[in-house]
Amino acid sequence: MSETAAAQQKSATRNESSDQRILAQVDKWLAVIREISGERGTQSNYPR
């Protein structure tokens, strides 16, 4: 049983680090989107 718990803990740790990398990438993309939106200003063709 302890081997199973250890394996689950390792898997959870890997999942958490993977989640953090994904969130960091999402943050980067959101920053790019905000920058592009700011460059367009009020000339957007899409209603908000």
**46 within domain boundaries:** no
**Number of compact structural domains in the chain:** 1
In a domain, 3, yes or no: yes
pTM given for the model: 0.52
pLDDT tier for residue 13 given thresholds of 50, 70 and 90: confident
Task: Give the pLDDT confidence score for residue 43 in this predicted structure.
Answer: 57
Classify residue 4: in a domain, yes or no.
yes
| Domain coverage including residue 29 | 1-37
In a domain, 44, yes or no: no
Q: Is 42 domain-assigned? A: no
Residue 8 burial (C-beta neighbours within 10 Å; 0-12, 13-18, 19+)? exposed
- 8 φ/ψ angles, rounded to the nearest 5 degrees: -65, -40
> How many whole angstroms separate alpha carbon 26 and alpha carbon 45?
25
Do the domain assignments include residue 9?
yes
Q: What is the pLDDT of residues 25-46, one digit of tens each?
A: 999 999 999 999 998 765 555 5
> Could you tell me the two tokens for 21?
């990398």
